[in-house]
Amino acid sequence: MAFQSVPTRQPTRRTTELMLTIGAWLLGVMGTVQIGWATGVGMTTPMWVTVGIVGALAIAMHMVIRSRAQYADPILLPVATLLTILGLVMIYRIDVASAQRAERNSAPAPTPDVYAQLTWFAVAVVLFIATLILISDHRRLQRFTYTFGFLGLAGLILPLLPVVGSTINGATLWVHIFGLSFQPAEASKILLTIFFAGYLVVKRDSLALVRTKVFGVGFPRPKDVGPLLVAWIVSLGVLIFEHDLGTSLLFFGLFVLMLYIATQRRSWLILGAGLFVIGATIAYFAFGHVRVRVDIWWDPWGDANNTGYQLVQSLYGLASGGMFGSGLGQGYPEFVPFANTDFIVAAIGEELGLTGMCALLLLFAILVQRGLRTALAVRDSFGQLLAVGLSIVLALQVFVIIGGVTRLIPLTGLTTPFLSYGGSSLVANWVIIALLIRISDRARRPDVFVPSVDEALTQVVRRV
Amino acid sequence: MNRPIRRVGMVLAVLLLALIANVTVIQVFRASDYRERPGNQRQLLEQYDRERGPILVAADPAARSVDTGDTLRYQRVYSNGPLYAPITGFYSLVYGATGLERTENKILNGSSDLLFVDRTKQLFAGRQIQGGAVSTTIDPLAQAAAFTGLGSKTGSVVAIEPSTGRILASVQSPSFDPNLLSTHKPADIRTYYSKLTADPKKPLLNRPIVALNPPGSTFKLVVTAAALASGKFTADSLLPGPKTYQLPNSSKRINNWTHQACSSSGLITLRNALAISCNTAFAWLGNQLGADALREQAELMGFDTRFEIPLRAARSTFPADPDAPQTALSAIGQFDVRATALQMAMVGAAIGNKGVLMTPYMVQEIRGPDLSVLQTTTPMIFKQAMTAANAASETDMMVNVVKNGTGSNARISGVDVAGKTGTAQTGNARPSVAWFVAFAPAQNPKVAVAVSIEEAGTAEISGNGLAAPIARKVIEAVLRQS
């Protein structure tokens, strides 16, 4: 009896993961070859090397998962790899377009960005592997809840400090140290998610307490509203002092949703929405940069050659792509300013069409769905909150930036996860994937049952 | 916590659907609106990014696309721009396209269904779509002969192969240089364009096919055909040819250009009336036949039809309801009779082709980017304009015009040339139009040609003096090759 009750070996699905990852890589190779063909630059040696390195990096991640998190969700790695590869392909595409334009105008050739992005991908892979190796159990993170909270806040404030902080394109997001520059907000979004999860696991019972009821909806005690107010003020602070609408929106939305999940109280959503409306109204009337964004959203053609230029060009690009796109290498992605960062989705929509856009959105949806599934499957509350928080970060960021670029909502500067050119974002998103993989490994791992002699005798029937 | 997680999952799914719906609206439903916004440079660049196919005259491109390596990648280049301008038209950033550039745009830019296979091949190869080529029916030697013949005179020449309707030459003067309208510098284009539009001689007008002028005495060819068709007259019928013809119910008179009677007896055969272009005889004949018979014959020869060759030609007209004096004037190609050079060449072609008028056309073949032939135009009969016997008889009379009559300048040794001169008044104090309509060799014509010179002198001989030599050069250019 005892032997029969031991669960059959849980399939690890690592081979599935490997096959899907190879598939993602092959798509990238085809995309690169297509660009070379369509633009007439051909397949250059550096691009073959790039393609090889990308493949090696993906396989390296797979090998680490195989040894360190063998029960992890097999979909996360291939989807994130495919998104990163799609980003590299588009960045390469835009490099080619910029170089050809410079050549036509006999301007000096611009530095290609694809190799820098490849380097950042390598860094991201190193951090991905480090995360998986250093954090063998996600629950250990809970011990450092307040440390992460402090570091997360510090990351938000860092760009405001003299000497290290700097302002680029109107937003104070950057930190320069030792000749390197990065956006600490990208790290903050992970650190603060860990902090929120750890904090809410501990405090959720008191936060769920109902004091007063208004229209049948129970509202929390005023003294418990404190943390929400702090999150609100910090978000407004980011907006006011760093002019970063997107990050501000992301943090506040994340905190409110996690609060709701931890407490199961809809009242937090109502309070959060109320504070959002107040904050948004203040921001609209008090800050010119917010007002400009909203006005552009309302009527991009009102100032099509100046403030509305980016958005209008983005819409033109998307429209010219139509259902099936112009084909890789055959559009004009370089017409949209910041084509390889904020507006990379416009370039994808132009060259890959609605078909490509839907595929892209579904890839993100799969990623978020796997994150939420992990949250449902993992048994500890901290893991649940962390997984759901990380999924929300991804989902909100995708919605805010793609919604902005496609004029669904006002445009706020955020990078598109995995796609946009920029190291901090890429590295941070891969760390998110590493954490989700770690949690999913825990969720899917069969209970390790090492029968001691005593247990083998006493515990005949195992809980399934 | 599973329930709120699921709920948040639902909310995120709604956000995703909102993104997809929004992108669908932009990329599908509003796409054409966005594409046509004036500030959208993509549409234009797409046109200019494709290698537009050439317009071929014989084997050589009269218009072709040259890679400039610029943002607007391909530029249209016209070899011999002014020579072929009435055929190619221009392809301009600012003013759109005209001529074959316009009518054959779908072939040239590669979007025609005929090029579906080529386009699919290019699509799968991931290449830029290349346009197809358009081969014209133009004979470069005839075109050049007409162009040099016209020189600085204002006018036009059209030559047709009578047996098929192929247009061998279509020339105008003054012409313009489509190269200057097809550069990629809008300011330069505008300057040149406004200069052209300000020119009173209207160089942008496609004269050979749209300039309507009274055909003058060349219309007597139509009247002669109508007379033969009536069965009441033959080449030898005697007509009254006095010094003046008193218009019925009017104080006005028609004079002969010689200001004398057409013969000492006062009677003249139809053959001789045509040979010396006797106005009084034809005015009388017009009224004998009646306006309806004249109109019917004119329509059989292409009047009152709008031809698309595929360039849209103007409709040549015979007046709708003329009274007797107006009919008499119409019979000598005055009053409200208006014809293009194309129309008068068709009159010549109909007579020369044993009475069968072929539909005129300018596009011989549509070719793929690799110049393989995708479509060939088959000649089509427009109408049986007259019986073969009457055509033979009128041909004979026209040969007589050149041999013994007013068309002496069209004579070519060893070749029977059939022709008819004409000089039309365009109004008081305005210079007249000199015409010459001819075809040769008379018995088996390879070419029918119409020359019209505006602002010519007033004498009947101007048709012979100015227009006939040009017609002869065009005929010689065509015959030299056969």
Cα B23 to Cα A404: distance, rounded to the nearest angstrom: 11
* Measured CA distances, B396 to B274, B280, B357 (Å): 11, 22, 18
B307, B342 Cβ separation under 8 angstroms: yes
Say what angle helices A423-444 and A76-104 make with each other, to 10 degrees. 170
What distance in Å separates residue A262's CA from the closest CA in chain B? 7
Return the SS3 of B454. Answer: strand
Cα A130 to Cα A427: distance, rounded to the nearest angstrom: 12
Taking CA–CA distances from A365, the nearest residue in chain B reads B16
Chain A residues touching residue B1 (CB < 8 angstroms): 261-262, 264, 381, 384-385, 388
Q: Is B198 on the interface with A (CB under 8 A)?
A: no
Q: Is B44 on the interface with A (CB under 8 A)?
A: no
Is B277 one of the catalytic residues? no
Of B8, B16, B42, nearest to A257 by CB-CB distance is B8
Catalytic residue among B65, B175, B217, B316: B217
Cα B11 to Cα B18: distance, rounded to the nearest angstrom: 11
Q: Is B1 on the interface with A (CB under 8 A)?
A: yes
Radius of gyration of chain B (CA): 28
- Give the pLDDT band of residue A169 (cuts 50, 70, 90): low
> Per-residue pLDDT for A1 more than 50?
no
Chunked mean pLDDT (size 10), chain B, 482 residues: 90 95 93 79 75 89 85 86 93 84 87 79 70 92 94 93 94 93 86 91 92 91 94 90 82 78 86 89 91 93 92 92 87 89 95 95 91 90 93 93 86 89 73 88 93 72 82 92 76
What is the residue-wise DSSP string for B98-153? Answer: -HHHHHTHHHHTT-SGGGHHHHHHHHHHTPPPB--EEEE---HHHHHHHHHHHTTS
Q: Is A272 on the interface with B (CB under 8 A)?
A: no
Is A320 in Cβ contact with B46 (below 8 Å)? yes
What distance in Å separates residue A377's CA from the closest CA in chain B? 9
State the burial class of residue B317 (Cβ atoms within 10 Å of its Cβ: 0-12, 13-18, 19+): middle
Is A330 in Cβ contact with B126 (below 8 Å)? yes
Q: Each residue of A15-73: pLDDT tens digit? A: 999 999 999 999 999 999 999 988 888 889 999 999 999 999 999 999 999 999 999 99
* Chain A stretch 395-424, residues whose beta carbon is closer than 8 A to a beta carbon of chain B: 395, 398-399, 402-403, 406-408
> Per-residue pLDDT for A4 more than 60?
no
Torsion angle (degrees, nearest 10) of CA A362, A363, A367, A372: 10
Considering A207-216, A254-263, A282-291, the range whose residues carry the highest mean pLDDT is A254-263
Is B3 in Cβ contact with A408 (below 8 Å)? no
Q: Is B443 on the interface with A (CB under 8 A)?
A: no
Give residue B82's pLDDT. Answer: 93
Q: Each residue of A244-265: pLDDT tens digit? A: 888 888 888 998 999 899 988 8
Is B8 in Cβ contact with A316 (below 8 Å)? no
CA angle B120, B124, B129 (to 5 degrees): 60
Of residues B399 and A334, the one with the higher pLDDT is B399
If you average pLDDT over residues A208-219, what whole number do you get? 70
Return the SS3 of B473. Answer: helix
Burial A320-351 (b: 16+ CB within 10 A, else e): bbbeebbbbbbbbbbbbebbbbbbbbbbbbbb
Q: Each residue of A82-134: pLDDT tens digit? A: 999 999 999 999 999 888 878 766 778 888 999 999 999 999 999 999 999 99
Chain B residues touching residue A381 (CB < 8 angstroms): 1
Out of A238-247, A377-386, B334-343, pick the least confident: A238-247
Of A330, A331, A392, nearest to B8 by CB-CB distance is A392
Cα A23 to Cα A78: distance, rounded to the nearest angstrom: 8
Residue B133, phi then psi, degrees to nearest 5: -105, 150
Q: Is B29 on the interface with A (CB under 8 A)?
A: no
Mutate to test the interface with B, among A336, A408, A416, A439 (most CBs of B within 10 A): A408
In 10 A of CB A298, how many CB atoms?
10
* Measured CA distances, A102 to A44, A310, A329, B64, B71 (Å): 19, 20, 16, 26, 10
Is A321 in Cβ contact with B126 (below 8 Å)? no
Q: Each residue of A405-459: pLDDT tens digit? A: 999 999 887 889 999 998 899 999 999 999 999 999 999 888 765 555 554 455 4
Is A388 in Cβ contact with B37 (below 8 Å)? no
Is B27 in Cβ contact with A349 (below 8 Å)? yes
> Per-residue pLDDT for A241 more than 90?
no
Q: Is A30 on the interface with B (CB under 8 A)?
A: no
Residue A224 in tokens: 């418990």
> Per-residue pLDDT for A332 more than 60?
yes
Q: Is A343 on the interface with B (CB under 8 A)?
A: no
Cα B299 to Cα B4: distance, rounded to the nearest angstrom: 84
Chain B residues touching residue A101 (CB < 8 angstroms): 71
Residue B295, phi then psi, degrees to nearest 5: -65, -40
What distance in Å separates residue A79's CA from the closest CA in chain B? 17
Q: Is B116 on the interface with A (CB under 8 A)?
A: no
> Per-residue pLDDT for A2 more than 50?
no
Amino acid in position B344: M
Chain B residues touching residue A320 (CB < 8 angstroms): 31, 34-35, 40, 42-43, 46
Q: pTM value? A: 0.64
Is A395 in Cβ contact with B15 (below 8 Å)? yes
Mutate to test the interface with A, among B14, B16, B27 (most CBs of A within 10 A): B27
- Give the pLDDT band of residue A342 (cuts 50, 70, 90): confident
What distance in Å separates residue B130's CA from the closest CA in chain A? 13
Chain B residues touching residue A384 (CB < 8 angstroms): 1, 5
Q: How many CA atoms lie within 13 A of A216 on its CB side?
A: 0
If you average pLDDT over residues A372-401, what whole number do you get? 94
* Residue ranges of domains in chain B, CATH in brackets: 210-369+378-481 (3.40.710.10)
* Cis bond upstream, residue A108 (ω within 30): no
Residue B68, phi then psi, degrees to nearest 5: -90, -15
Cα A177 to Cα A318: distance, rounded to the nearest angstrom: 38
Is A403 in Cβ contact with B18 (below 8 Å)? yes
B443, B354 Cβ separation under 8 angstroms: no
What is the residue-wise DSSP string for B367-409? Answer: E-TT--EEEEPPP-EEEE-S-HHHHHHHHHHHHHHHHHSTTGG
Mutate to test the interface with A, among B7, B12, B128 (most CBs of A within 10 A): B12
If you average pLDDT over residues A265-274, what whole number do you get? 87
Burial A68-99 (b: 16+ CB within 10 A, else e): bbebbbbbbbbbbbbbbbbbbbbbbbbbbbbb
Give residue B184's pLDDT. Answer: 83
Nearest to B283 by CA among B320, B231, B335: B335
Nearest to B142 by CA among B169, B120, B122, B110: B169
Cα A224 to Cα A231: distance, rounded to the nearest angstrom: 13
Residue B337, phi then psi, degrees to nearest 5: -75, 130
Cα B455 to Cα B202: distance, rounded to the nearest angstrom: 13
CA A108 to chain centre: 34
Of A323, A330, A391, nearest to B27 by CB-CB distance is A323
Give residue A451's pLDDT. Answer: 52
B432-440 β-sheet, strand order: B167-173, B155-160, B447-456, B432-440, B418-424
Cα A258 to Cα A239: distance, rounded to the nearest angstrom: 21
In 10 A of CB B112, how many CB atoms?
20
> Per-residue pLDDT for A6 more than 60?
no
Mutate to test the interface with B, among A200, A355, A372 (most CBs of B within 10 A): A372
Give residue A437's pLDDT. Answer: 96
Cα A122 to Cα A130: distance, rounded to the nearest angstrom: 12
Point out which residues pair with A324 in neighbouring strands: none
Tokens 């009336």 correspond to what residue? B273
Chain A residues touching residue B5 (CB < 8 angstroms): 261, 372, 375-376, 384, 388
Residue B11 in tokens: 């909310």
Is A264 in Cβ contact with B4 (below 8 Å)? yes
B338, B354 Cβ separation under 8 angstroms: no
Give residue B474's pLDDT. Answer: 94
> Per-residue pLDDT for A386 more than 80?
yes
State the burial class of residue A225 (Cβ atoms within 10 Å of its Cβ: 0-12, 13-18, 19+): middle
Give residue B8's pLDDT. Answer: 93
Q: Is B128 on the interface with A (CB under 8 A)?
A: yes
Going by the DSSP 8-state scheme, the letter that residue A11 receives in this structure is: P
A427, A417 Cβ separation under 8 angstroms: no
